[in-house]
């Protein structure tokens, strides 16, 4: 049980009215489960790290380069996301873009203006595996507020929405929900998974695991934690420096100027994606680089399943 239990129960109308006061977005996961009248974004990172972002404009004039940075507007945004998606921002993206100096000023500005709400999940979808990577469907860790739809209204923890204290029937409903989630929760990956995977780099199982993967970027682009980006100049004497998402699945991701490519083979790229999320990132930052939202599993054109891949590599290393 991760809920403090000291929240209130508000009516659905009051909750929606409060959400409608500002610029509110919901993630597609939330939009799919609860019909809410707000525009949706595919992942939280679409708000914090837009797929197309001009960092500065430049032009050549009077024999010199003129450069004008384009800092993002500081408009506050409220984003309602599933607990796993909140974790993706607070545990992974924040650590990458704000964890070390220098911080990314573009990300920092957007993050400062983001109100992040967690909407608890009442069940596990077939693709969900947050509990395998240290998350919980009712976690409010890192979120500015927490909401959970109950049969009688919306359970709310945080500031802004007023409501009445929980009735005993609602307390029972919450307890039943927690018990039910506990029963159906997928079990965590073994504790030493990052170490096992690190050891398994040279295993001959990788070719087999990677076979079938189309090497498209559907998983990485829709992943809430994948943060890799590319910088490219648009224009020659006048133009902009553009930041776009990049994907480790693409052959040119690691292409060197010398034309050497350390990950020229599709298998190496698949291995990199698994090891980065489940080995390198946790070994460095202490948390998995995956929050178990299951998007990559649900949206993969060939049903390539990262859960199975991790299990297979772990069993190979054991």
Please state the three-class secondary structure of 77-103 as a single string: EEEEECHHHHHHHHHHHHHHHHCCCCC
Residue 239 in the binding site for other proteins (CB under 8 A): no
Q: Which is nearer to other proteins, 69 or 301 (CB)?
A: 301
Q: Which two tokens stand for residue 59?
A: 């032009």
Residue 216 in the binding site for other proteins (CB under 8 A): yes
CB of 277 to other proteins, least distance (A): 17
Q: Which two tokens stand for residue 178?
A: 């927690």
| Crossing angle of the two packed helices 306-317 and 266-275, in degrees rounded to 10 | 90
Q: Which is nearer to other proteins, 107 or 206 (CB)?
A: 206
Q: Exposed e or buried b for every residue in 181-191, given b needs 16+ CB within 10 A? A: beeebeeebee
Selected binder of other proteins within 221, 227, 278, 288 (CB under 8 A): 221
Q: Which is nearer to other proteins, 235 or 262 (CB)?
A: 235
CB of 209 to other proteins, least distance (A): 12
Size of the site for other proteins (CB under 8 A): 38
Do residues 225 and 84 touch, judged by C-beta distance below 8 A?
A: no
Residue 247 in the binding site for other proteins (CB under 8 A): yes
CB of 126 to other proteins, least distance (A): 5
Q: Which is nearer to other proteins, 102 or 187 (CB)?
A: 187
Interface positions, 68-127, toward other proteins (CB under 8 A): 126-127
Compute CA 83 distance to the chain's CA centroid, rounded to the nearest angstrom: 10
Compute the distance between CA of residue 29 and CA of residue 119 in angstroms, rounded to an integer. Answer: 10
Q: Which is nearer to other proteins, 104 or 157 (CB)?
A: 104
Residue 260 in the binding site for other proteins (CB under 8 A): no
Interface positions, 280-309, toward other proteins (CB under 8 A): 297-299, 301-305, 307-308
User: Could you give the 3-state DSSP secondary structure of residue 191?
Assistant: coil
Give 293's DSSP letter: -
Interface positions, 40-79, toward other proteins (CB under 8 A): 42, 51-52
Residue 242 in the binding site for other proteins (CB under 8 A): yes
Interface positions, 141-160, toward other proteins (CB under 8 A): none
Order the strands of the 77-81 sheet from edge to edge: 8-10, 153-157, 145-150, 114-119, 77-81, 24-27, 40-41
CB of 204 to other proteins, least distance (A): 12
Which ranges of the chain does DSSP label H, i.e. alpha helix?
12-19, 28-33, 45-48, 83-87, 94-98, 105-112, 168-184, 193-199, 206-210, 218-222, 266-275, 281-285, 295-299, 306-317
**Stretch near other proteins under the rule CB under 8 A, chosen from 65-73, 137-145, 165-173, 246-254:** 246-254
**Stretch near other proteins under the rule CB under 8 A, chosen from 132-140, 182-190, 238-246, 272-280:** 238-246
Compute the distance between CA of residue 43 and CA of residue 34 in angstroms, rounded to an integer. Answer: 16
Q: Which two tokens stand for residue 89?
A: 């921002």
Compute the distance between CA of residue 39 and CA of residue 26 in angstroms, rounded to an integer. Answer: 6
Selected binder of other proteins within 207, 238, 262, 318 (CB under 8 A): 207
Residues that bind other proteins (CB under 8 A): 42, 51-52, 126-127, 207, 211-212, 214-218, 220-222, 230, 232, 234, 242, 244-247, 250-252, 266, 297-299, 301-305, 307-308
């Amino acid at each position: 049980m991760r809920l403090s239990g000291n929240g209130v129960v508000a009516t659905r109308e009051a909750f929606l009215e409060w959400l409608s006061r500002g610029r509110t977005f919901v993630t597609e996961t939330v939009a799919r489960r609860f019909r809410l009248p707000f525009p949706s974004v595919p992942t939280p990172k679409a708000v914090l790290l837009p797929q197309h972002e001009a960092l500065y404009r430049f032009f050549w004039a009077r024999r010199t380069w003129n450069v004008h940075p384009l800092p993002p507007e500081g408009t506050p945004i409220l984003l309602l996301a599933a607990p796993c998606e909140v974790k993706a921002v607070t545990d992974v993206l924040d650590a990458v873009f704000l964890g070390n100096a220098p911080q990314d000023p573009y990300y920092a500005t957007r993050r400062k203006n983001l109100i992040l709400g967690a909407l608890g999940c009442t069940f596990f979808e077939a693709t969900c595996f947050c509990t395998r990577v240290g998350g919980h469907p009712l976690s409010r860790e890192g979120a500015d507020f927490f909401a959970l739809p109950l049969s009688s209204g919306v359970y709310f923890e945080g500031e802004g929405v007023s409501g009445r204290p929980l009735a005993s029937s609602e307390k029972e409903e919450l307890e039943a929900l927690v018990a039910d989630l506990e029963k159906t929760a997928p079990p965590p990956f073994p504790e030493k998974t990052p170490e096992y995977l690190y050891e398994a780099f040279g295993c001959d199982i990788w070719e087999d695991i990677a076979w079938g993967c189309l090497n498209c970027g559907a998983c990485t682009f829709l992943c809430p934690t994948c943060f890799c980006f590319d910088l490219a100049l648009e224009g020659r004497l006048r133009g902009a420096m553009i930041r776009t998402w990049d994907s480790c699945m693409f052959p040119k991701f690691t292409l060197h100027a010398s034309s050497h490519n350390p990950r020229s083979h599709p298998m190496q790229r698949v291995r990199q994606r698994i090891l980065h999320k489940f080995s390198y990132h946790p070994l460095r930052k202490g948390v998995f680089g995956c929050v178990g939202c299951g998007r990559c599993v649900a949206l993969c054109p060939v049903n390539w399943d990262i859960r199975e891949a991790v299990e297979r590599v772990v069993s190979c290393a054991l």
